[in-house]
A and B are shown apart, each in its own frame.
Chain A
Amino acid sequence: MNQIQTPDLTLAEPARAKAAPFVKVRDLKVKFVSREATVQAVNGVSFDLARGEVLCVIGESGSGKSVMMRSLLRLHPKKRSVIEGSMLVGDNEITTVSDKKMTELRGSTISMIFQEPMTALDPLYTIGDQIAETVMRHQKVDRDAGMKRALELLELVRVPSPERRLKAYPHELSGGLRQRAMIAVALSCNPSLLLADEPTTALDASVQIQVLVLLRKLQRELGMSMIFVTHDLGVAAQIADKVAVMYAGRMIEYGEARDVLVNPQHPYTKAMLASTVKDQHKGEALEAIAGTPPDLRALPPGCSFAPRCKFAVDACRAAMPEPVSDARGHYARCIGVESTGGALRFAAPKPELALAG
């Protein structure tokens, strides 16, 4: 796997040099089953993630990005969900490990930061107790040692006057501080894989940047792999090594951050990038993507973006296109994309040509 040399990534290089994939997800499918309907939330996702790498998963609401993350911790209710495929984290096959082993992995090998710092902490326990609890659970230490570690962690995540904050309850902290406390909980047992589910979405713009910079810094220092879910392309550009774009439960484009964000191939990625504020003049209308995401209870047989795609032809609606990839691992799932001369190239498919093929 080739890496693009970018000067700002040098810190992470040593960790990435010995990179055999640490996380290996193959054909992951997650279904939610209820009496009324079956929801295909994740629909065949495959990716690799090396140690110390950051994968950003981008997609609009309901594209399955959070569901995919939660399945890596097996947080979905057993009775109502079906998980197929394979998820290998280190030596652990997440789909088949025992429940007991799973609780041991949670919070120690794999940990997670949630979107809402307001509701993600138990309101009746102090910040210190909530961090110490995780440490006590996984490192089998007593409460004093747990609290000592909690204090270290609060210092690590740059919480001002940490001794006092240790005894504070969640409602006594601001959103930014709570999210830092949440990060401290997640980092308490030196996880190898950190899952961050839109950790900055609920925060003020200025706090967002602080938390983001902190996360990126800690990720590099601790050499963690990180999967970062966001729908903010700016955030993705800031922190990602790899970017995956999800649509209707599938990864429709994947590759090095630069490749995907600078040279997007899939019409959906292109449209999404075109719909963000960049250098437009004031008053110029943004290009929104027409239509709505498909109903996950009844997915169309072909490309799920076809109903909204201005290039769609009949062949698009017939079957989901296979990924077309270039030499660096950048791939897109679109019949209009071709790999020529080591790079992907999109050309709008011609209807009759597509039918003939």
Chain B
Amino acid sequence: MWLYALRRLLLTIPILLGVTIICFALVKLAPGDPIQNLVRPETPPEEVAKLRAYYGLDQPVVIQYFVWLWRVLCGDLGRSIANNALVSEEVVRAFLNTLNIALISVVIAFVASMALGIIAATRQGGAVDKLVTAIAVFGISVPTFWLAVVLVIFFAVNLNWLPATGMGADGSHGFNYFDWNDFKFAVMPIIALALPPLGIMTRTTRSALSEVLNQDFIQTLRAKGLSEGRIIVHAVRNIMPGATAMLGLQLGYLIGGSVLVETVFTWPGTGFLLNKAILTRDIPLLQGTILVLATVFVLINLVVDLAQSMIDPRIKRI
């Protein structure tokens, strides 16, 4: 087990290096020469060359990459072109904002989809099963931006229960889950974010569970005299490796931030930040955001793999 964990951990290093190469290449592939943008057109070539040397841009690309990588490892992601703010600070703030709603959404989606999936799989073909399927299909197929707008119209405009946009008076500083004055801003984004993963995970839970319930060992468990509840426990444990993988993927997507949901609710998260960076051509900000998100995605998958190998003893890959 520990050997597997170590191997799996070591395997993420090349993946992460790959991520940094792609992020670095992003800047190099962007059109335009940064130094030419920096200086006035009439600057003499010697001055330009001096400046180029000052920023290290006269070095071969490989050297530039390692210099950049070293800075990244020291936590320096450069400065935003738009407002000269530290990219690392911007990204971390946006990341925490997104994490605030993404974690709750994914937990709600996971718990609810498990419950709905179990209910549906144990009552296959019945009315409850059909209702659950309808909920799942609704979750998968409803466009989130439309849902977000409908939520705003209903709860903010018509009923005036919840604020329509933003993150509260204090903005992203000191957001407190347990303070309704903060949390009320998060309610609608959470609902809008949770619904698609809820639909997808309900479908997969139901189908995986009904497949497991048809396997031979379920009959053995029944022949042993176990109650239906205990049999469900066995069956659910058997679908957990797949469900964990699904959970990890969905959490990864949500942490990437839903550009649409965060834009509708002007929630200052990663999706919102990415959108801003792209629209203002803020390459360092874009690079830093993508690097952080991709790294988190890789790490989530690492955790998922380790969790899977703990649940299923047959998993000893690599």
Contacts and interface: CB of A to CB of B under 8 A. Distances in A.
Interface of A: 73, 75, 103-108, 111-112, 114, 116, 119-125, 133-134, 137-138, 169, 171, 182, 185
B42 interface: no
Interface string B293-313: 000000000000000000111
A105 B314 contact: no
Contacts of A103: 225-227
Task: Give the bracket for the number of chain B residues in contact with chain A.
Answer: 20 to 34
Q: Which 10 A-B pairs have the closest CB atoms?
A: A107-B225, A106-B225, A119-B216, A107-B224, A112-B223, A134-B224, A169-B313, A120-B220, A122-B217, A103-B225
28 contacts: A75-B219, A105-B225, A106-B224, A106-B225, A107-B225, A111-B223, A114-B216, A114-B219, A114-B220, A114-B223, A120-B219, A121-B217, A122-B220, A122-B234, A122-B238, A123-B217, A123-B238, A123-B312, A123-B313, A124-B234, A124-B312, A124-B313, A134-B226, A137-B224, A137-B225, A138-B225, A171-B313, A185-B220
A143 to B, nearest CB: 14
A133 B238 contact: no
Nearest to B215: A119
Select the residue from A105, A107, A121, A185 with max chain B CB neighbours within 10 A: A107
Contacts of A134: 224-226
Contacts of B238: 122-124
A75 B223 contact: yes
B241 to A, nearest CB: 9
Given A73-B222, A103-B226, A133-B226, 4 more contacts: A134-B224, A169-B313, A169-B314, A182-B220
Given A114-B216, A116-B216, A169-B314, A122 B225 contact: no
Interface residue SS majority, chain B: helix
Interface of B: 215-217, 219-227, 230, 234, 237-238, 311-314
Nearest to B216: A119
Nearest to A100: B227
Nearest to B223: A112
A75 B312 CA distance: 28
B222 A106 contact: yes
Contact of B216 (A106, A120, A124): A120
A106 B223 CA distance: 5
A157 B237 CA distance: 28
Nearest to B212: A122
B235 to A, nearest CB: 9
